[in-house]
Amino acid sequence: MMVTRFAPSPTGYLHLGHAFAAWTASRSGTRFLLRLEDLDTGRAREEFVAAIFEDLAWLGLSWEEPVLRQSRRTGAYREALARLAPFTYPCFCTRKEIADEIASAIEAPHGQAQRGPDGPLYPGTCRHLSADERAMRIARGDSYALRLDAAKAAANAGPLTFIEQDPAHAVDPLLFGDVVLARKDVPASYHLAVVVDDAFQHITLVTRGEDLLPAVHVQRLLQALLGYPAPQYAHHRLILDKDGRKFSKRDQSATLRSLRAAGVTPSGVVALF
Ligand code: GLU
């Protein structure tokens, strides 16, 4: 039996786009699990966790218990990071230093910054630090993030593919460059946590919005490095507002809460899909 999941972050009320993702996953004819991406302790709130359960149930969805909470899984992420150690390096750059480095690369003759799905890629500054310098800065207490050395990881993993609704696609392991896998105050980045948890929950079908399609490239690479099986992927179209824009969390009128308050019924919401 295939297993899929819906993995919202409890940082706001569920909006239509999320409801569509949950509904699509729960209708996929597979086992359906729910997982809370609540690692952002500054923004995740219990009030939103309760609202997620209540709004999904109101929509007529049911899921298997227990619901996995990423905030309880920091040990698993630490273990995965330890296994990825040959392919990571500490990065001491501040956001400003990275922005300055990118700006000067663009200003150089024929200069350009490499771009990924989330904007300019990290220019790799800290990849070139010596072992002594790394050790000295860590000992000194400098704060750092752990980044994936994407080229080294890609060379180790060899050619990879992923299955998106049947055809196999080639993975571009360098698409996100040297992504951050963890920070001092965040035990795992989204990419690392989702890969570790999909394997832990034996997810065989990743169902989510097509805005996350590029994320597969780095996630497949991490799966290969960690020796995890590759799930299949089904990225669904996004629900857009009347101006053709993706609903954002700021769009309070498109949350299930406000649709409910406005008297829309569950079948009225499903009709919007
Ligand atoms: N938390 C993500 C979202 O709410 C979903 C991540 C995933 O399904 O991989 O869009």
Task: List pLDDT tens digits, range 141-177.
Answer: 999 999 999 999 999 999 999 999 878 999 999 999 9
For the record, the structure tokens of 66 come out as 């227990």
For the record, the structure tokens of 187 come out as 């035990």
Q: Which of 51-65, 90-104, 236-250 is predicted with the least confidence, judged by mean pLDDT?
A: 236-250
Nearest alpha carbon, ligand 1 atom 5: 7
pLDDT of residue 249: 66
If you average pLDDT over every residue of the chain, what do you get?
94
Average pLDDT of span 167-191: 95
Q: Is the CB of 212 under 6 A from ligand 1?
A: yes
Buried b (16+ CB within 10 A) or exposed e, 31-58: bbbbbbbbbeeeebeeebbebbeebbee
Nearest to 197 by CA among 87, 45, 35, 60: 35
Mutate to test the pocket of ligand 1, among 37, 197, 247 (most ligand atoms within 8 A of CB): 37
pLDDT of residue 111: 75
Nearest to 13 by CA among 51, 54, 61, 63: 51
- On whether the CB atoms of residues 235 and 210 are closer than 8 A, the answer is yes
d(CA 216, CA 195): 10
pLDDT of residue 49: 98
For the record, the structure tokens of 50 come out as 């309760």
Average pLDDT of span 129-146: 97
pLDDT of residue 152: 98
pLDDT of residue 269: 94
**Chain position carrying tokens 């569920």:** 14
Query: What are the pLDDT digits (tens) for 53-79?
Result: 999 999 999 999 999 999 999 999 999
Q: Is the CB of 194 under 6 A from ligand 1?
A: yes
Nearest alpha carbon, ligand 1 atom 2: 8
Q: Is the CB of 37 under 6 A from ligand 1?
A: yes
Average pLDDT of span 207-221: 97
